[in-house]
Amino acid sequence: MHDVALKVANLSFSFEADCVLEDISFAIPKASFCAVLGPNGAGKTTLIALLTQLLAPQAGTIEILGIDAGRQPVKVLASLGVVFQTRALDLDLTVLENLRYQGALRGMPDALVRTRADEDLARLGLSDRADKLLRTLSGGQIRRVEIVRALLHRPSLLLLDEPTVGLDPATRREIHGHVLSLRAEGVASLWCTHLFDEVVPDSRLIVLDHGKVLADDVADRVLQNTGAATIADAFDRLTGSARPAATA
């Protein structure tokens, strides 16, 4: 368990009579990349809401770095970075002002926020945008700022809900590549997507459909176990339903 970043056990959630997640369980290691692949309505966003405590589980448990989220929520949230599907930044503030505001919420010294902001904006090619109003940035640039915001406090686990939706292919590849590189820095990432090409062959893959986990293994082994040549084919064989789009 010392090597586990996130453990979900028998997690269930329903909206009235609509079961969104049904008794799902999985674990992902520290410093790893895990893709949760599923179409719209699969339960991905509800899973993120439960992991971030925006919703409370109706059954099951969530542990982050071995800490029970239900018993020590503040400690768990301190270990998380989150990139939500919807924008979580203020368009009428500059990039740096958005990051300083996030740092203040985290109780971080302003000097530390500025140092880390400078470092991370440079890594994502945004050094010249620090003093620009967020509304002047492109969609891809705003997404990069959201990733910088999520990593500002140096979390151990990064949660991303459809982070590349609506972005051009080149920007998608850059953001995906940056998140993959975080493994070398000890950060585990849970990347929720409906895009097949965002699944990394040697990383973990969870196939989620209609609130159920249909596969949970290294992506290459999911291919072997389903006898499929591609992730798209494996998805079709596991779900027996219409596949999600291959590109944004």
Residue ranges of domains in the chain, CATH in brackets? 29-56+68-79+156-248 (3.40.50.300), 89-154 (no CATH)
Tokens 């904006």 — which residue? Answer: 121
Find all residues with CB under 8 Å of 93, minimum gap 6, and list them.
101, 133, 134
Check: CB of residue 130 under 8 Å from CB of residue 110: no
Report which DSSP code applies to 198. G
CA separation for the pair 132, 120 (Å, rounded): 16
Check: CB of residue 104 under 8 Å from CB of residue 143: no
Give the pLDDT confidence of 189-223 residue by residue, as tens digits.
999 999 999 999 999 999 999 999 999 999 999 99
3-state SS, residue 202: coil
Check: CB of residue 106 under 8 Å from CB of residue 150: no
Find all residues with CB under 8 Å of 223, minimum gap 6, and list them.
229, 230, 231, 234
What pLDDT does 240 receive? 87
CA separation for the pair 88, 50 (Å, rounded): 17
CA separation for the pair 1, 3 (Å, rounded): 5
What's the pTM? Answer: 0.93
125: which 2 tokens? 């090619």
- Let me know if 16 is exposed, middle or buried by CB neighbors in 10 A (0-12, 13-18, 19+): exposed
Give the pLDDT confidence of 98-131 residue by residue, as tens digits.
999 999 999 999 999 999 999 999 999 999 999 9
Give the pLDDT confidence of 127-181 residue by residue, as tens digits.
999 999 999 999 999 999 999 999 999 999 999 999 998 899 999 999 999 999 9
CA separation for the pair 222, 204 (Å, rounded): 9
